[in-house]
A and B are shown apart, each in its own frame.
Chain A
Amino acid sequence: MTMKAVFKKTCGLTDKPTHYCPGCTHGLIHRLVGEVLEEMDILEDTIGVASVGCSVLSYEYFNCDMIQAAHGRAPAVASGVKRVLPDRFVFTYQGDGDLASIGISEVIHAAARGENITVIFVNNAIYGMTGGQMAPTTLIGQKTATTPFGRDVSIQGSPIKVCEMIATLDGAAYIERVSTHDVLHIQKAKKAIKKAFETQKKGLGFSMIEVLSTCPTNWGLDPAESLDWVKDNMVPVYPLSVYKNCEGVK
């Protein structure tokens, strides 16, 4: 009797086991990106740019050519690649410490120039790799290693809403925020990632998908509680929406 395969791992990812903590959604988001690259049949034409943070080793997981960038600089590195190879697909995969803090200048200017690249921005409101410090995206009142009494607006200011900010730039073609806290939202996240790469395929300009993500280890929650924390605490601050959709992407 032959068995029919109803599911298999995407060839967009390598066979290397990821190093992510239990309940972290990085692996899931990797898979969504890998599936999109596979479905669009663009793996051989894609160059990914890994950032610094928990996802630094993403270059070992994506099954395409990869470059590892300095902290926050991935959009500048991606710009360099794309300007030389305009017919290839170029994406960055960055966390919120990398993109929204040290790399905010690079992502703003890449968007302003309308760089025809795709940014996958994974926001879990904390620095994971370095041990749970405050990120620009940390919620007001949220306790972290560097905000032990909770983030205080009068001291650390308010969270940066990256999608809202980038969407104001003319060069931004497709900007959407999605979440990974349940199956329905994961499916929506994949659609958004696909739209971003289609935006790039059509040469429309800068695309970015912000994906709300978890950090059970540094939040001090179990995986299920973490998903609820995203839904109950992050989504109200970071509304899920399409912030920019220039003509041509349905």
Chain B
Amino acid sequence: MGKVLMKGNEVIAEAAVHAGCKYFFGYPITPQSELVAYMARRLPEVGGLFLQAESEIAAINMVYGAAGTGVRVMTSSSSPGFSLKQEGISYLVGSELPAVICNIVRGGPGLGNIQPAQSDYFQVTKGGGHGDYNIPVLAPASLQEIVELTQDAFDIADRYRTPVILMGDGMLGQMMEPVEFGERSETGTFNKEWATTGTRGDGGPKIITSLELDAESLEERNRNLQRKFAMIKENEVRYETYQIADADYILVAFGTVARITMNAINKARKNEVKVGLIRPISLWPFPEKPFIETRERVKGYISVEMSAGQMIEDVRLAVNGFAPVDFFGRTGGVVPTQEEIYDKIMSIAGGIRV
């Protein structure tokens, strides 16, 4: 299969189909509605099922039910709708059910607007719903990367029995780029003996629940979850670096903002200002290694975000006081321009200009 020109939201949907996802429960919300519509058309072609739920709450609970049967299942939404899914996501974590949830982030808080934003960083990386938990979050920066990461998301979900979040911004969902859907060697076979599909002579009844009334038992269960999270931290960190070897300052950005930031870095390099980029691809687990490796030699970091400053907290934790961490961000659906990021670089790293 050669390259095809597609919209970001549609790429996510097609990538999910390629990953063996046959069930999708969704609810319309801009700017991810193309994903829902694509699934409605596409899933019947592969013998799957698309169902439009009455709300995001119902959609995530349908996902919970379908995930309980052991199939690959997905839902998607955008910020206000994603907030509504948080209850169900907490239950998925507590019951250890695999699922992929996509959040195409828009401006907030409240109804906000439908322009691109990254201001859901906190709610996707810090738990979001109730209880002690984290969820793997993958943030692609290009449409081709969506193809890879969507398939990774399903594998991670099955491997660790956890929901996985795919986070993009409205820009990524709406832009068009050529992509290629290669065949993956490993889509993986996973043991799903826990699935509730009817006992059918397989021994006693199976139960999917997050309830544990005894405090000591729930603590033990939570400790097991923490052990699982530690394993995910060990194995599933993803990031990319760009020109950091000789950099005096390192910018940190993810998703589409990383692409704009890269252009600003190129422009700064032309003016002999040594800057580089760390692009977290997994937002949780956050890539600490490239910071640990550089924090004692660089002059500082600049976190660039489409928010009022959220990822910067993780950057500061990773830098751990070894170097100053500065910030540049636009919020409310405003996309930072290459020029203003360049200006920020020059104001910090450019020295005295005449």
Contact = CB atoms under 8 A, between A and B. Distances in A.
Interface stretch (A75-83, A156-164, A180-188): A75-83
A243 B209 CA distance: 33
Interface in A202-239: none
A43 interface: yes
Contact of B65 (A43, A49, A50, A105): A49
Interface of B: 23, 25, 49, 51, 53-55, 57-59, 61-69, 71, 73, 87-88, 91, 95, 196-201, 205-211
Nearest to A68: B209
Given A65-B196, A84-B23, A77 B64 contact: yes
A174 interface: no
A147 interface: no
Given A73-B88, A106-B58, A47 B196 contact: yes
Given A59-B209, A68-B210, A80 B62 contact: yes
17 contacts: A46-B198, A49-B65, A50-B209, A64-B205, A65-B196, A65-B206, A66-B196, A67-B64, A69-B91, A77-B61, A79-B51, A79-B62, A80-B25, A80-B65, A81-B66, A88-B197, A105-B58
By secondary structure, the A interface counts as: helix
A80 B57 CA distance: 13
B287 to A, nearest CB: 33
A108 B88 CA distance: 19
A195 B17 CA distance: 39
Contacts of A69: 61, 64-65, 91
B210 A47 contact: no
A128 B71 CA distance: 35
A45 interface: yes
B88 A64 contact: no
B61 A67 contact: no
Closest 8 CB pairs of A and B: A80-B65, A76-B61, A68-B209, A80-B62, A77-B65, A65-B196, A109-B54, A80-B66
A64 B198 contact: yes
A14 interface: yes
B208 A85 contact: no
Nearest to B88: A70
Contacts of A41: none
A66 B200 contact: no
A76 B199 contact: no
Contacts of A78: 65
Contact of A84 (B55, B59, B71, B207): B71
A197 interface: no
Nearest to B70: A84
A59 B200 contact: no
Interface in A109-157: 109
B208 A68 contact: yes
Contact of B207 (A59, A105, A109): A59
B209 A47 contact: no
Nearest to A59: B207
Contact of A60 (B55, B71, B197, B207): B207
Contacts of A106: 54, 57-58, 61
A56 interface: yes
Contacts of A73: 57-58, 61, 64, 88
Contacts of B68: 47, 67, 77, 80-81
Nearest to B201: A44
Contact of A63 (B95, B205, B209): B205
A91 interface: no
Contact of A65 (B57, B73, B205): B205
Contacts of A49: 65
Nearest to B22: A84
